[in-house]
Structure 1
């Protein structure tokens, strides 16, 4: 059952409630609905987490937590899914976002060499930035929708399968 699988890997809710970066949410973290695992809360958590995983901003986890609180999704899962984009996966994912952006804009791919300085970042916003940001927005939306409906479908399939097992036992 998906609930058992998710519960096995979930961090303790007290650890998250006491996180110094999440203190800004105050008493809203004590809402028990943020910690329950059910089909709707997990599906919403996948949508929130996957959306913010593709958004190239700092503090993605805090943004995901804020939206999770607003839409009453499972908070730990929403925050954890942001880590799909991590130092190992960011280059491939963001390059894919850039490629989707240039495909949607109908522009040719531009050669660029990454430099770790502020001037390069400012200059690249006008050259590769529009395609990259468009690709990030499109893929964030697409994967959050796919994640939401996939979890709903898998959860429903799992419940139907369990009901059939019970029926066959009787």
Structure 2
């Protein structure tokens, strides 16, 4: 009898200096006690496009009391990064790689500067997750060699995924239903 062990993906939203400057003083007041303004919809979308059979968890450093400590208890890690998060994302990525865990970097910063990002990651997902992340995870799960860069332009017509909000605690966020204005709203209001 074969036992199938589901591969595990950890998605991380790194903290940024901007968050640590504003959260305690400003955001804490305007969010009515919530830990962050917006849920990391980018990672909820990444979770939604993970192929069937993957265990997925989201770690949002913006709502943690302490910085995330990397552990080698996952198969692969995906880190989303805007420019304000890049330094922290790279630090987390380097720590996971030192543990032998494969690292994917995605988001606007790695998409704009993939050569820089590849100094800290095994893979860069350039562009939207729907056209990149499933390919990375399928290649990883089947033992195929990972490409350095997976570009959404290679598979641009994927439908917009419904974010996996079930992996996040709504009590942590003031805005739990953000709208991506460059992609539109998924609701029929």
TM-score range, shorter chain: under 0.3
Larger Rg: 1
- Compare the two structures and name the one with the higher strand fraction: 2
Q: TM-score, normalised by structure 1?
A: 0.26
- Compare the two structures and name the one with the higher helix fraction: 1
